[in-house]
Amino acid sequence: MARPERAVLVAVEFTGERRRQSAAARLAKSSAAVVARGRSSAGTPEDVLDDMLREGDDPVPESQAAERSAGLDFEASLAEFQELAKSAGAEVAATLVQRRARPDAATLVGTGKIEEIEGVVASTEADLVLFDHDLTPSQLRNLEASLPCRVIDRTQLILDIFARHARTREGQLQVELAQLEYQLPRLAGKGKAMSQLGGGIGTRGPGETKLETDRRRIRLRIDHVKGQLESVRSIRRQQRQRREAVPVPVVALVGYTNAGKSTLFNALTSAGVLESERMFATLDPKLKQIQLPSRRKVLLSDTVGFIRNLPHTLVTSFRATLEEVERAEVLLHVRDASSEAMDEQKAEVEKVLAELEVSGKPVIEVLNKVDLLGAEDRERLRSGPGSVTVSGLEGTGLAELLGAIDRALVIDPLTEAEFRLPQSEGAALAALEAGAVIANKRFEGNLVYLRAVGPASLVGRFRRFIDRSPA
């Protein structure tokens, strides 16, 4: 096996951005105030935000607790970045941190930091430098010019992990499309260099540079991939229509990457979906039918995990993969209850759900990995309303979770009816027994009496056998 690539990680924290973020959070909390102030000064919320930041050096001094929690957030995101790098197959040679008020427009980090990175790259013989931040095309170009190895930003890193994990044709095409669209504006620097090197007269049209042919090639490829995606999707739409001929509600597992969605999916279905300690193990949606305690059937859908600062291009390219989320009747928000960044992760997931415009759907919070918690923490979580505590790994709390799904499903509600059918109606009897919970079954002559609690659609299908005679 080839030696894993050695990477120098560069994490950046812009204290100015943090202040801006916390000001934005305060704004969001008092949206009424935003509207009022925004109107009076005829400004957008952005203007108001700028006002708030201009008001003084530190308009609202951060309390010590907030400082600490910001520090904790940074620690957690640093650990997450290292996990991302490992998930991409890199070996972490060193991790550098840069804190400054705001990004350098030309190189993101300062000149001194670049020299430091260069030194560390040389001494560790690293193959690449990973930035935990997005780089503009010109920042990428400038950094590549001053560093002796490849430079990769956060979006590219996540795209790379996605590329490793895409299994279906559609998933692979979506990743390729996102990669091409990422590359297009970043061709400039390399293209220019190449256009000076190559001078192939006659190989291109008059006045056309290498850069332009590269761009054209990428655009052509983008069109080609889009066309292929369209045909893959139309096949999937047909499959779905066939499936929807017998409508079964979809219950989608959503959550932060590594929260344990696939493990829970497998525990609920024993389907053998890949579980992995690597991030973004699941890229392609998996669907499997399960039966709830009420005997109603639902399709459980495992989906791609979300992450902090999920690149926007990915949200749009993966919209199709998240179609199951959009169609779902109920969402299971799987959360890693053992993570220190639990609340931050929840906020990130809710942000993506809002982008997918599915915030209105019923959500069951599934607090997973409780096996890793002490008795006290477990007790504290248990008392929370609207949530279920489980361990996907140990298979605890699953019955409770299935019951909660049953209660949350509003389509095809449960109804109860007394039936009286001839014993010769074997098919009807079998269908009721398979799809409903049966009680008080007794035989009288060639008749069967029973009480069934089941989905309205099933009970309605056999309403001709409902016993309306007084008991």
Ligand X SMILES: Nc1nc2c(ncn2[C@@H]2O[C@H](COP(=O)(O)OP(=O)(O)OP(=O)(O)O)[C@@H](O)[C@H]2O)c(=O)[nH]1
Residues in contact with ligand X by CB under 6 A are 255, 257-263, 275-277, 279-282, 305, 368-369, 371-372, 391-393
Nearer CB in complex with ligand X: 108/267: 267
Nearer CB in complex with ligand X: 305/435: 305
CB of 301 to Mg ion, least distance (A): 12
Binds 389, which of ligand X, Mg ion, none (CB < 5 to 8 A, cut-off by type)?
Answer: none
Q: Tell me how far apart the alpha carbons of residues 436 and 415 are, in angstroms, rounded to a whole number.
A: 10
Nearer CB in complex with ligand X: 306/419: 306
Q: What angle do CA 465, 412, 272 make, to 5 degrees?
A: 110
Residue 439 identity (one-letter amino acid): A
CB of 345 to ligand X, least distance (A): 11
Of 154, 155, 210, 161, the C-alpha closest to 9 is 154
Work out the end-to-end distance of the chain between its first and last CA atoms, rounded to an integer number of angstroms. 75
Of 243, 324, 296, the C-alpha closest to 409 is 296
State the DSSP H helix or E strand holding residue 452, giving kind and residue range, or none if neither: strand 447-455
Q: Tell me how far apart the alpha carbons of residues 329 and 196 are, in angstroms, rounded to a whole number.
A: 57
Binds 286, which of Mg ion, ligand X, none (CB < 5 to 8 A, cut-off by type)?
Answer: none
CB of 359 to Mg ion, least distance (A): 22
Strand pairing partners for 164?
Answer: none
Select from 65-73, 277-285, 309-317, 394-402 the region that touches Mg ion (CB under 5 A): 277-285
Of 47, 79, 60, 48, the C-alpha closest to 18 is 60
In order of 130, 180, 249, 434, the CA distances from 430 in angstroms are: 60, 54, 22, 6
- The reply to whether 282 sits near Mg ion by the rule CB under 5 A is yes
3-state DSSP assignment of residue 469: coil
CB of 281 to ligand X, least distance (A): 4
Q: Out of 281, 298, 300, 405, which residue is the one contacting Mg ion (CB under 5 A)?
A: 281
Nearer CB in complex with ligand X: 307/459: 307
Q: Out of 262, 294, 321, 389, which residue is the one contacting Mg ion (CB under 5 A)?
A: 262
Of 332, 334, 336, the C-alpha closest to 358 is 332
Binds 103, which of ligand X, Mg ion, none (CB < 5 to 8 A, cut-off by type)?
Answer: none
Nearer CB in complex with ligand X: 109/250: 250
Q: Tell me how far apart the alpha carbons of residues 306 and 295 are, in angstroms, rounded to a whole number.
A: 32
Q: Which residue is nearest to ligand X (CB)?
A: 305
CB distance 328 to 248 below 8 Å: no
Select from 158-166, 186-194, 258-266, 321-329 the region that touches Mg ion (CB under 5 A): 258-266
* φ, ψ of residue 450 in degrees (nearest 5): -160, 160
CB of 162 to Mg ion, least distance (A): 13
Nearer CB in complex with ligand X: 162/462: 162
Question: What token pair was written down for 178?
Answer: 């996102």
Binds 371, which of Mg ion, ligand X, none (CB < 5 to 8 A, cut-off by type)?
Answer: ligand X
Nearer CB in complex with ligand X: 83/144: 83
Q: Tell me how far apart the alpha carbons of residues 388 and 382 are, in angstroms, rounded to a whole number.
A: 7
Binds 259, which of ligand X, Mg ion, none (CB < 5 to 8 A, cut-off by type)?
Answer: ligand X
CB of 161 to Mg ion, least distance (A): 12
Q: What angle do CA 181, 184, 186 make, to 5 degrees?
A: 120
CB of 95 to ligand X, least distance (A): 22
Task: Find tokens 């925004």 and name the residue.
Answer: 38
CB of 388 to ligand X, least distance (A): 13
Nearer CB in complex with ligand X: 153/302: 302
CB of 300 to ligand X, least distance (A): 13
Nearer CB in complex with ligand X: 141/369: 369
Binds 368, which of ligand X, Mg ion, none (CB < 5 to 8 A, cut-off by type)?
Answer: ligand X
| Number of residues binding to Mg ion, judged by CB under 5 A | 4
Strands 387-389 and 414-422: unpaired
Interacting residue ranges for Mg ion, rule: CB under 5 A: 261-262, 281-282
